Amino acid sequence: MVWELGYPTAVSTLGNLSDNDRLAGRVAIVTGSSSGIGEEVARRFATAGASVLVNSSRSVDAGLAVAESLPDAHYVRADITVEGDPERLVAAALERWGRIDVLVNNAGTTEVIPHHELDRAGVEVWRRIFEVNVFGTWVMTMAAVPKLREQRGTVVNISSIAGLRATGSSIPYASSKAALNHQTVLLAKVLGPEVRVNAVAPGLIDTPWTADWDAVREAVRQVAPLKRSGRVGDVAEMVLALATSSYVTGQVLAVDGGLTIAL
């Protein structure tokens, strides 16, 4: 026990290590880690010493290449919306490493629909987006929770500022991320003290997903206090911080160059 300003502070097993071994000996599953934010999270975690289960639903070659480039990683193709696939991801991590410490729910989908084009946002679009961003994420978390409890582990959901403000690529997408934010908070309440649950809400990040969003990128440059779109490393840094912050749970943290305070 360390005493600071009269308050007792428990020494964290994760927080007091040097940068390169903050996740030493830990095992992480990162869904949708064949590209973009998920890939960078997998790379950042590996740099911090973690063993990483890399996943994607379709891009097998890219996923294999990410896993092969890391010191201790394994790729599994799985679609979080397919019955049995989340459990298969958990089983693959256990078979290889015998434990799970961190789950990063990064897999997500959208459809770009201007918000006023209500006819295009039919219920089938809502179903397709919620199937991945809300239901798939839920099932993935439920599959991992028993093992996360054993390790006093943690979940980091990749949400979006579209779930915090009246913005985003479509109304169904923004609504799905708002639901994910609330899923994060509600789960944090019931899974403590064993499991911490947090979310990162990125603003506009340069990834394959947003490669042709130049007009949006320019608008962000104009409006956001930090005057640029985000890099995958900006998000991965916060995911690592939340994964290793022993007294933070139930938080949704915007990583957006200040965009939400300017909207």
Between the alpha carbon of residue 116 and those of residues 13, 74, 132, 223, 262, the distances in Å are 49, 43, 24, 22, 22
Question: What distance in Å separates the CA atoms of residue 199 and residue 238, rounded to the nearest whole number?
Answer: 10
Rounded least distance, CB 163 to ligand NAD, Å: 9
- Fill in the amino acid letter for 250: G
Least spacing, CB of residue 262 vs ligand NAD, in Å: 16
Pick between residue 14 and residue 157 the one whose CB is nearest to ligand NAD.
157
How far, rounded to the nearest angstrom, does the alpha carbon of residue 163 sit from its chain's CA centroid? 14
Minimum Å gap between C-beta 9 and ligand NAD is 33
Tell which residue, 40, 25, 33, has the closest CA to residue 76: 33
Compare residues 23 and 107 and give the one whose CB is closer to ligand NAD. Answer: 107
Q: Which is nearer to ligand NAD, 147 or 177 (CB)?
A: 177
Nearer to ligand NAD, 32 or 153 (CB): 32
Q: Which of 127, 145, 168, 154 is nearest to 263 (CA)?
A: 168
Active site residues: 173
- Complex with ligand NAD: residue 229 or 244, whichever CB lies closer: 229
Applying CB under 6 A, which residues contact ligand NAD?
A: 31-32, 34-38, 55-59, 79-81, 106-109, 132, 136, 158, 160, 202, 204-205, 207-210
Min dist. Cβ of residue 39 to ligand NAD (A): 7
Cα dihedral 110→113→115→120 (10° resolution):
-110
Dihedral, 59, 64, 67, 68 alpha carbons, nearest 10: -150
Q: Which of 114, 220, 111 is nearest to 161 (CA)?
A: 220
Q: How far is CA 111 from CA 22, 169, 227, 240, 257, in A?
A: 36, 7, 26, 28, 24
Shortest Å distance, C-beta 121 to ligand NAD:
17
Q: What are phi and psi of 100, to 5 degrees?
A: -135, 125
